[in-house]
Structure 1
């Protein structure tokens, strides 16, 4: 055999057991145009006094040094921009990911520090969100001339098997309180490590008891609210997240979730308000959304666009009260049919009776007059006017068999109703028939649904890490704050590239 056939190639050996001493230039970990630098610079321009005010350790006094809130804010914004919502994963990324290493200066950050900071101090987070909105408004990126309102279901940090009835929750609560009592009893000759472990156990027991107490209160509240709605109703609440409600998701299943409401400015698709709610439907959410805008932004938007789930008498009235021009998709609850539930058809249907507006009466097929007899108030300015025929006329009518239901009593007489809508609803329906209103409503899906898709896909917010409606709102606020900043950076790059493209 030749030397060429027997020769073994010489390769560089890989020794993964060796220890090396490497020089790292932190500033060169990320390039100058990296988004993490933009995040750090922008956060540095914000007023963080509400965050600094809660730090007890100050110069000249005892206490451990506190992690800079500017660093923690920047870390979470950068993490959400990369689809990371786990505090443990973010802590791991700080050990090797260049952007996180640059922010931390190669220092380690505890996942407990990250997790606690995200879900603490809602007032400071709301102020942070408002400051960013102010900066966006100053650059003309937010106008509040027209906004959209839409909701999406995001899974809660609770399983479906954690829902219990009142009796089981009460039993678990009694056991949890007993465990807290036992753990609180002082133990003699307890070592330092055992003391810390005991403190952790007592804290966990207290937290479980607190969640069970909240679950019991939620079950009792649900039972009171539904007592007249259903004859058979068993209220249940989650022992893990008592405020989470079972909701139907986009896949057709039902899971414990929160309904996250986003108000989005149509100018550039930026989110101006976010709130996690426990209502599975959007029917009652327009009025609270407008109130939040007035409270946090100082004024309500000029126009608001929402889909059919929000479009009802209450929403139209609320928009009119706030002085907001509302655009929506009205869904009529009644549709004409060939027959009614009583077996009547044709000219004997209530909708076929001619109405004389001058005399405020209806005429039946037999020529009898149905006069106004009663008014039923349905709320939100909607009234139902009831018209009835003379009792003797219906008793001797030749067309009674075609008009009266089967088994009708001799004293039965025909009645029809007419709904009187408030002027705001009448004006709304007339407006939505115009071409201009249809074009405005057509913008809804493009603007409203994009923000929801972004925070779910890009921020990874398909399930909350925190528990409770308040903390879920804070977590959604972090995601929306990240979305606004990434959109802002994108718009800036497009604006800077525009003169070069023209040249």
Structure 2
């Protein structure tokens, strides 16, 4: 006969969340790898000594990490999931009866105490430190890359040109992302003014790329986001998530949000490398990257700090347009001149252009009657641009075919794998938070989740056979 499910009321229940959690569950591994015992002490100065007790900050951090580990980035939905899921309750130390905080609590904490104390970066760095403690970070080779993440900005809510309308740019009524954008403009203006006034390099932020061209379009809701066609859509406002990755076990040692522009992505390289050296004492002997990072400024900056740049150069030697290339000219280093195939000299005034090139020009009287002129130039005289870091670029050309360079080329694919996991598994294809700080918060939480998962797997892995074999 057909059975029927009958709900039987029971007066007493005996249930243990601890026994309910499987021994090999990911959350149990994450809990063993995560240490937040320091959090309350660091946040204590940002809380009042009197008044009603607040929501435990450790609870909010644990809930956010659960959300990013499982691709639940909506805080409203996260609260519902934690309320219903017993595994999430166990990880967040809520028990069966613990109250889940309201979703608005996260916004208040994130825009207030958490950002003032840089909590998300502190959590990220603690996890990186734990990865270093168990030997997941080698510190010998790093890789850097960026991936485009669509901003929370509508295609329709934009203005053409590099400036916002006056009513939107009023600081008194502007939204938080607009205020951040205006503050960044003030910093950039101060940097330019300082350069004009002769401020030295210690007073100036390191810039590895030329200043970007004025924006063609600005978003009214998030003007710091860049208008780009590099993302999933044909054109959208977006940010770039920049990862600096240790190549031993693909641990993210630093991350930074930037507008989705090539110049900004390259400029963050110095920031992340210097911050990693200051926070963890790590400086790699080699850096792997794709050709987008092959500018002379970056190559020169790396080699000045003892870092071997395993980076394909940005070189246009094949774009000859039917004329003799620079390779046909001989450079006389002692005299600082180029010698053309016909034996004429190309001298320089010594002026370095903003793009980092020094121009060498032949005399019109030498080029005019020259038989090679139709193959050399269509102008009055031949011009050659030489990068101020051409010696460093020549060094990169010499090591491009070495086994170490080829190894770095293979290993930097680990960064692409992290981006694929970020978008496919963690669901970070479009941002929910606006402004550079909002994008930075999301990228830090996502990178923390990725490192924490890798750390948890390493702690749960059995020791190698050589370590357990009898003597």
* Residue aligning to 2:135: 140
1:377 is aligned to 2:352: yes
Q: Distance in 2 between matches of 1:247 and 1:478?
A: 24
Which of 70, 77, 86 is residue 74 of structure 2 equivalent to? 86
CA contact (8 A) 2:33 2:456 kept: no
Is 1:286 matched up with 2:269?
yes
Aligned position for 1:251: 232
Partner of 1:343: none
Secondary structure in 2 aligned to 1:463?
A: coil
Shift of 1:149: 0.3
The structure with more radius of gyration: 1
Instruction: Quickly say closer, same or farther: Cα 1:223–1:257, change in 2 above 3 A.
Output: farther
CA RMSD across the alignment: 3.9
User: How far does the alpha carbon of each residue in 1:342-387 deviate from its partner, in whole angstroms, 9 at most, with x for none?
Assistant: xxxxxxx4659664859856456xx674453644524686433222
The answer as to 2:395 corresponding to 1:427 is yes
Indicate how the Cα distance of structure 1 residues 22 and 81 shifts in structure 2: closer, same or farther if over 3 A, else same. Answer: farther
Confirm whether residue 488 of structure 1 aligns to residue 455 of structure 2: yes
Distance 1:352 1:44 in 2: 57
**What's the offset of the Cα at 1:73?**
1.8
Query: SS state of the match for residue 287, structure 1?
Result: helix
Aligned partner of 2:28 in structure 1 is 37
Are residues 168 and 377 of structure 1, via their aligned partners in 2, closer, same or farther at CA, if it must alter by over 3 Å?
closer
Q: TM-score, normalised by structure 1?
A: 0.74
Determine helix, strand or coil for the equivalent of 2:46. Answer: coil
Distance 1:416 1:487, change over 3 A: same
Counterpart in the other structure of 1:55: 47
The Cα of 1:39 is off from its aligned counterpart by: 3.2
Instruction: Verify the 8 A CA contact 2:36 2:58 in the aligned structure 1.
Output: no
What is the count of residue pairs matched by the alignment?
A: 436
* Change in CA separation of 1:144 and 1:352 when aligned onto 2, cut-off 3 Å: closer
Residues 1:499 and 1:64: Cα distance change in structure 2 (over 3 Å): farther
* Correspondence for 2:150: 155
| Equivalent residue number for residue 105 of structure 1 | 95
1:325 to 298, 303, 308: 308
Alignment of 1:461 with 2:415, yes or no, is: no
What are the within-5 Å matches in structure 2 for residues 98-497 of structure 1?
A: 98-102=86-90, 103=92, 104-106=94-96, 107=98, 108-118=100-110, 120-121=114-115, 123-164=118-159, 169-171=165-167, 236-251=217-232, 253-281=234-262, 282-335=265-318, 337=320, 339-340=322-323, 349=324, 355=330, 357=332, 362=339, 369-370=344-345, 372=347, 374-378=349-353, 382-388=357-363, 390=365, 394=368, 397=369, 399=371, 402=374, 412=380, 414-417=381-384, 419=386, 421-445=389-413, 447-496=414-463
- For structure 1, which segment, 94-103 or 349-358, has the greater mean C-alpha deviation from structure 2 after superposition? 349-358
Query: d(CA) in 1 for partners of 2:105 and 2:187?
Result: 35
1:313 shift after superposition: 0.3
- Match of 2:241, SS state, is strand
Deviations 1:14-66 (A, max 9, x none): 78xx998773433344223333233344444541122344332x5xx4x2222
Is the CA contact 1:43–1:74 (under 8 Å) kept in the aligned structure 2? Answer: no
- Once the two structures are superposed, residues 462-498 of structure 1 have per-residue CA deviations (whole angstroms, 9 ceiling, x without a partner) of 1222111112111111111111111011122333485
Contact kept, 8 Å, 1:361 with 1:371, in 2: the verdict is yes
What 5-or-longer segments of structure 2 have no aligned partner? Answer: 193-210
Instruction: Find the aligned partners of 1:148 and 1:267 in 2 and give their Cα distance.
Output: 10
Can you give the 5+ residue segments of structure 1 that lack an aligned partner in the other structure? 1-8, 178-205, 341-348
* Matched position secondary structure for 2:84: coil
Q: What TM-score do you get using the length of structure 2 for normalisation?
A: 0.78
Higher relative contact order at CA 8 Å, sep ≥6: structure 1 or structure 2? 2
**Distance in 1 (alpha carbons) for counterparts of 2:377 and 2:24:** 78
Shift of the 309–368 alpha-carbon distance from structure 1 to 2, 3 Å rule, reads: closer
Identify if the C-alpha distance between structure 1 residues 350 and 264 changes in structure 2 by more than 3 Å, giving closer, same or farther.
Answer: closer
3-state secondary structure, aligned to 1:483: helix
SS class of match (2:243): strand
> 1:218 Cα shift?
7.5
More deviation in 111-120 or 353-362?
353-362
Deviates more, 1:136-145 or 1:40-49: 40-49
- Contact between 1:327 and 1:437, CA under 8 Å: does it hold in 2? yes
Q: Would the aligned equivalents of 2:322 and 2:375 in 1 still touch at CA under 8 Å?
A: no
Q: Residue in 1 aligned with 2:206?
A: none
CA deviation after TM superposition for structure 1 residue 320, in Å:
1.9
How far apart are residue 454 of structure 1 and its match? Answer: 1.7
1:192-214 deviation per Cα after TM superposition (whole angstroms, max 9, x unaligned): xxxxxxxxxxxxxx6x6555566
